[in-house]
A and B are shown apart, each in its own frame.
Chain A
Amino acid sequence: MSLLEVRDLHVRFGQTAAVRGADIVVERGETHCIVGESGCGKSVTSLAVMGLLAKGAERRAARMAFDGIDLLPMNERALSRLRGDRIAMIFQEPMTSLNPAYTVGSQMAEVRTRHKGGTRRAALDRAEELLGRVGITAPGLRLGQFPHQLSGGLRQRVMIAMALMNDPELLIADEPTTALDVTIQAQILRLLAQLQAELGLGLMLITHDLGVVARVATRVSVMYAGQVVETATTAELFANPRHPYTRGLLDCLPVPGKLPPGSQLGTIPGMVPKLTEGFRGCGFRSRCAYAQPACEADIPLYGTTHLSRCVLSA
């Protein structure tokens, strides 16, 4: 049984289809990267899994299960038993994701006592241990500090430690490094990869950075215009991309030594289509060199282990 299984997820905000066909399977102990440009629906997908979509969002899916538990019929109360306990999440904005009115220790301890019970003292001890584990010096001191007294990088480490309070099986990280300085980005990413390996977490990492994918991912799902267009193991995807969008994306990646100095990086011409109601078919067709009439109909994911949502792969 897969740790997380999402089949044919759709999310709509009023007239706009934010996600219109996301299929994602995360296995135990693997790092599954979801990659795509801003607005492709990758963050919305992760929020839909957590049940954290904004008011007014409409969600439907063929299947959405965590460890075999069907998430679709769950109400807020039932979901909240899983969230923070077996599924944890960290966000893009470390500066605003912690409550300014409470200490780091208090915010970390409450997630432990909420799900596992026990004393606050025990929860604080656990928090201190985890703060040390995510590479924060003087963790005992940090427990009593408020978020505004910490830097962005430190706050993201606190968020990570907080997510680990109850030994979750699945950690969803929504662009955890985007808002940070480049040097800090590398540190946080290394920390996530290391923790994932040590704790055997299933990690669903959302990013727009193919460099990140290459370094940490076991499997990759590429999203474009609200759809997962390709899924494969990292090695397979980089060696043998099938979807024209994935190929275009890889062509844009600067590889040292491969391109002569001064030459232009690749770009994908054209724009992302507006996903208004009634938009069907491949979202990439207006920018694709291989577009054909069949692209305007709904296209399934072709393949068994290496999946691609393209008529060329049929």
Chain B
Amino acid sequence: MVIPIALPILDESMGGGIPPGKSLLYCIQPGVEGDVFGMQTLYYGLENGYKAVYISTSSSPDYVRERFREFGWELESYEGQLDFVDAYSHFVGLDSNEKYVVDDPDDINNIDSVVIDATKNTSNSIIMCESLSSIMDMCGEIETIAKVNEWTRLSMLYDNTSIYNFTAWHYSDETIKKIRSEVFNSVIRVGGIGERVIFGQYFGVMKADWCEPSRKTFLFRIVRPGGVRVYIPKILVTGPFDAGKTTFVHALSTRAVSVDRFGTTVALDHGHIDHKGLSADIFGTPGQERFDPILKLLGGESMGVFLVVDSMRSNTFARAKDMLKLTKTFGLPCIVIANKQDVPGAAPPERIKIEMALPDDIPVVPVSSKEKTGVVEAFEMLVDNIMRGL
């Protein structure tokens, strides 16, 4: 049984998850909160009945439990399934009541013997190392890599899945090369975007030797509680006046706000959706022509578009297509929302597609925003199209 990474996009990209005996390294740029990925995998594994060993190298086990709690993950509920290798407490003079305790955490041989002991006592489990880089800092790069080679080999013998976090400080080129390409079965890179400040975070699979992983890169956010969310910065909802854009934004969003006057949107709709590990901000434009000058502004930096049309009013379809041009989003992944399908006499999606003369890559999805049908399906379809283009 593969262990799901617990982030659908990664699982899909890596053949469903991590097979038993395989190792996964998160290679994390300094300053980026990348260890939450492994925590999420571990907690999901516990929830699904797996046993786990957590090697804490730079925090006390109690501190680790507290960090899991920040995300809404109560480790106490799974105490029988989870053991700690405490390779920290004795370093700072704290006592430890954990099952496995490293007496001398700056001695790699001492860490090694306890980790081997813990690995041999468990099988078909998840073994997670909090920070490989902190062991390296303490015990040396070459010495640590030699031991980790042994640990991954042993994990394979006992069908344990191992996950390592590694902060990619400026180690020697040789170390970085070994870490990225030789020691582990799979490597996921977690990094930050931005020069002056890191304003966005991304991840991507660098290698996985059991499948052909996709080379896509995804943006993510860390949510408390919640964990890792794949993040799509901006999705635009546009369409002619009275097509039902605001209702669509509200039907789709986990939370939403609109600026309207007498029931008509006069500035913008804004919503936010969290769905299956994905998160996105949704911006809706007004539909009246007098707002056309600001449409370009609202469309800026969008990654995908919902074009909402009223299925009852084919005379507005030309205006709908114009709005794609006005928002400068023509060419971005786009889904046409054939809204008001609950009204008798609504044109079916196939007819709308022909009447609008839409290219093959713009699907038309039947939706009733009022009754909230088809909304989530449309979102999943758009996200899929966005991801395919990344």
Are these two chains actual partners, yes or no?
no
